[in-house]
Chain A
Amino acid sequence: MMHEHGILRHAAQRLLGVLPTMLLLITVVFFLVRVAPGGPFDSEKALPPEIQANLEAKYHLDEPLIQQYFRYLGQILVLDFGPSFQYKDWTVNELIAEGFPVSLTVGGLAMVLAFLVGTMIGITAAMKQNTPVDYSTMGFAMLGISIPNFVVAPLLILVFAVYAGWLPAGGWDWSVQRMVLPVITLALPMIAYVARLTRGSMIEVLHSNFIRTARAKGLPEKTVIRRHALKPAMLPVISFMGPATAGLITGSVVIERIYAIPGLGSYFVTGALNRDYTLVMGVVIFYGLLIILLNFIVDLLYAWLNPKIRYDEEY
């Protein structure tokens, strides 16, 4: 069998591709944030010119842009994202180190929840295709996709925190109670997507020849689903989950604002609004690396799930 070697070779090729991709990303973002009018020190009350000049010198903003660019590339090589312009007591590395575990926890739990519940609903709907069960679950899924989370979140807070008083309305202290509402809010639309994807591909798989064969052999329906249908049916779900996970675990601006969660998501927006160059660069590069990594994992999972795409030379 050559395919293990094939996967490794494929992995190496993909990793080589990371470098130019990241360089392109860094370059585009570096110049884009600086092209935006205004700078990190602009505020309502203007700074005295001497202090402004000293600040710019301190952060090397007085150098030619191209020199700043190469200086920044040098920093990135040693994984130093520099100090934040807005949160002056913190470096960008510290902010990411504080924020990412929070976003990873909320997003990761939401992803697991979405995957488990979504596939279960999807499989059930597929097995009971065109019955009331199918229609009602898919109707529910449609609802989950179309109601935005800035509507769902305040509703959940109102019901479970303000009126019932069972759960906190927001904030973060690593306790399970504070995770429940944000995780559910974040998972709801994902559950809906996963359910619809699973249903669709499951129905397709159930109509294919190898399933007919399995059934003809007299296997019970449960075994047919579990042993034969599940793996191929998961393919589109897995390819959706990769980038979606990167999105979820780097935090959602809306969720973080409404539940006052100290994750990474809000830095994408506040960093850009404050012209916090180093913070924007830091989170974007971090996000880019995560997406590449997760897509890579998805590729490997794909190869494992689908014998048609083993990356060996014979194929």
Chain B
Amino acid sequence: MTRPFQKIMRCTTVLLIFMVSVVSVEAQVLRRGIGPEPDSLHIHQAQGLSAIHLLRETREGLLTFDAQGEPVAGVAQSWKVSDDGLTWTFILREDARWSNGDAVTAAHFVAGWRRAVDPQSQARTANLLSPVEGAQQVMSGEQDPESLGISALDPQTVQVRLQRATPWFEEILAHPVTYPMHELGSEDARQAPVNGAFFISDTTPHAQISLRPNPYFHSRDSLALDAVELYPIEDPSAELSRYRAGELHITETIPPGRFEWLADHHGDALRVSPYLGSFWLGINLSRAPFRDNPDLRRALSLAIDRDVLVRVITGAGELPAWGIVPPGLGGSHWTFDFMGNADQRAIEARRLFKNAGFSRNNAPRIELRYNSSGQHRRMAVAVAAMWKQVLGVATTLINEEWKVFVNNRRQRVLTEVFRGGWIADYADPASFLDLFRSDEPLNWSAYANPDFDELMEQSTKLAGVERDIALMKAERLLMSDMPVIPLYYYVSRHLVAPGVKGFVDNVRDIHLSRYLDIETEAQ
């Protein structure tokens, strides 16, 4: 090759590389894992977390979430709450638009809410609307959907009437079940216009969901990203591989058992943060020997060393739990009368065990039931070992497939001690404590204490600190009755590539892509 020719080649190569890099700077594409395939894109059909997340990216309610995961104005630009907390009046943004250009009006909210509670249209999460006036009656078929407490005063004004003051109602207003519904979207969710920051431009089930900015979105100018690619990946190990190969910026979770390795090798990307969830072992109070025997239940609880569980079994920064309301929700973090260290707790456990009428030679045999999963099995084995060691209790481990397990747990006939736990629908202590009201269908322990019900009922009439105190009292009472043995509080776990900006850890684990950005090096 001649020298001038080589020079030209070199220049062209440099130019090409430059052009390629300019192109990649221009296209800001964020790639996120979202866990399992979303079960539906319909605001009334979606149940799974991944579907709810996807709906939050593509749609917006009266309220939405900010980058810190707190409820803020969405389609509503402002709202007023009456002094009794029962009447909420929302003024809608004038620039709120659907992705086909139509205006989002008050009528769209009324239509959506009525359809959500209509038993004919089967909204899976309709229960969240139960604080609204008339919702219970409509859902049970006693009244027409038109009697629901929502009305359009004019195209820009929505008024909602509540049955009772609901401190967490703002958060419900940002949940997909309360989103507005366009006439074109009532049945076929895949063709429906959306009103959020992004719309779905392409989707391959179980592989990829492509989001592009919605040109009609009211805050379109604030979006930093040109596209978001969402990848449904069921297997956390597969997700981790794709992150390590540079194919993902954000993962939905991390594989169990890899926490330490990730902390060592991807410490700058690992994000672990308290989450709205508690893990506990439930006790079926309708069965011997647990019925009318709180000392036995307390002894079983004290015999379990939570510090060992969270260090050895879960090992991703989970917090040992002595109550059921996670920290960060205004609950009291420890609610058990007796703490001390592990040895002292073991002595106290044996004392209570004796009080309950048992001894090492006369120990009950206990069934511990859990749904099939490696982590739950390890947890059950560890708990059984601790019970054996401290109290001499022999445990039968029963492992059931998910659908069988949830059925047995609900029926409260077969179960003795079972895997329980809860991930809150809204960030409020009541989301956890309401589970133990005596008339609650999700009260798998069959716990019934009139004093507890009374405290919970009182709390609904209170606000602020007084309400917090009533809820704290309720939790203390619950923990002294011990229908469940709390083990640990959940954490959210993500890998977030160091170049991603705007990702703020928060207790709701909500990270809308509209607030995220990527530094060019991370592309």
Contact = CB atoms under 8 A, between A and B. Distances in A.
B190 interface: yes
Contact of B124 (A42, A47, A53, A171): A47
B77 interface: no
A97 B198 CA distance: 27
Give the secondary structure class of B's interface.
loop
A38 B238 contact: no
A76 interface: no
B247 A171 contact: yes
Contacts of A286: none
Interface stretch (B64-72, B168-176, B396-404, B451-459): B396-404
B406 A260 contact: no
Contact of A262 (B205, B245, B406): B205
Nearest to B139: A48
Interface in A64-105: 86-90, 95, 98-99
B207 A171 contact: yes
A262 B234 CA distance: 11
B466 interface: no
A87 B208 contact: no
Contact of A257 (B190, B208, B235): B235
Contact of A169 (B205, B242, B403, B410): B242
B362 interface: no
Contacts of B47: 43
Interface string B393-437: 000000001111011001000000000000000000000000000
A43 B245 contact: no
Interface stretch (A160-168, A194-202, A221-229, A294-302): A160-168
B235 A260 contact: yes
A217 interface: no
A273 interface: yes
B370 interface: no
B237 A258 contact: yes
A309 B241 CA distance: 51
Contacts of A35: none
Interface string A2-46: 000000000000000000000000000000000011110011111
A154 B238 CA distance: 8
Nearest to B234: A257
B257 interface: no
Contacts of B189: 89
Contact of B241 (A53, A87, A169): A169
Contacts of A50: 119, 139-141
Contact of B406 (A38, A87, A257): A38
A273 B208 contact: no
Interface in B2-46: 37, 39-42, 45
Question: Which of B42, B245, B402, B407 has the most C-beta atoms of chain A within 10 angstroms of its own C-beta?
Answer: B245
Contacts of B238: 169-170, 257-260
Nearest to B45: A88
Contacts of B401: 38, 273
B403 A273 contact: yes
B406 A55 contact: no
